[in-house]
Copies of this chain bind each other. A is one copy, B any other.
Amino acid sequence: MTKFPLHLSSLIAFLKKWPGVGSKTAERYAFHLLGWDEDELEKLADLLQNIKKKISSCSECHALMEEGRCRYCDLSLRDSHVLCVIASPKDLFALEETRIFKGLYHVLGTLLSPLQSRNPQALKTDQLKLRVERLGVQEIIIALDSTLEGDATALYLKKELETLPGLKVSRLAFGLPLNSTLDFIDGGTLVKALTGRQSL
């Protein structure tokens, strides 16, 4: 039984496919959209229709790019001695926000996950190794999530990249997040912060 008008039910079904959106939230969004002006709806529809045309993936670093050239692969702007390995195109923007990293990026697109049978082949480390050699990269910064999948992938990458001579491999530091209070920090983080303590 569709309790809502059919068109609205179809819209709700589509919105429910979004991450973290359940029935109630999808209904809320759909009813909200009912109140929008026709031309606003038109503009939103237009944006959705053109995502794939306007935004593509760089064949070199796999970051998002517009208009045929990747600004993160431009060697006149970026330092090719350091390369940062990230899991998804979105992570790039978080790192760019810091404004302290000027090197190159390499988007893996996935993380190792034996449970979901994502195997090392999916990481395409051959491509990464070829880039490192071709560009003369001296340091690789592994900037992956501090999760089980992130840890597994980082360890695997380290083993793979060790075969390249003279390459330094580092990973983002673990420890206390800024503005945190010790009594609210989980034990695992505290252990990492203790063992990785930095001299003052």
Contacts and interface: CB of A to CB of B under 8 A. Distances in A.
Interface size bracket, A side: 35 or more
Interface string A68-105: 00000000000000000000111001001100000000
Interface string A11-25: 100100011100001
B48 A7 contact: no
Contacts of A3: 93, 96-97
A48 B44 CA distance: 8
Contacts of A19: 28-29, 32
B31 A90 contact: yes
A22 B43 CA distance: 20
Interface stretch (A50-58, A118-126, A134-142, A187-195): A50-58
A6 interface: yes
A45 interface: yes
A182 interface: no
Interface of A: 3-8, 10-11, 14, 18-20, 25, 27-29, 31-34, 36, 38, 40-52, 54-55, 64-66, 88-90, 93, 96-97
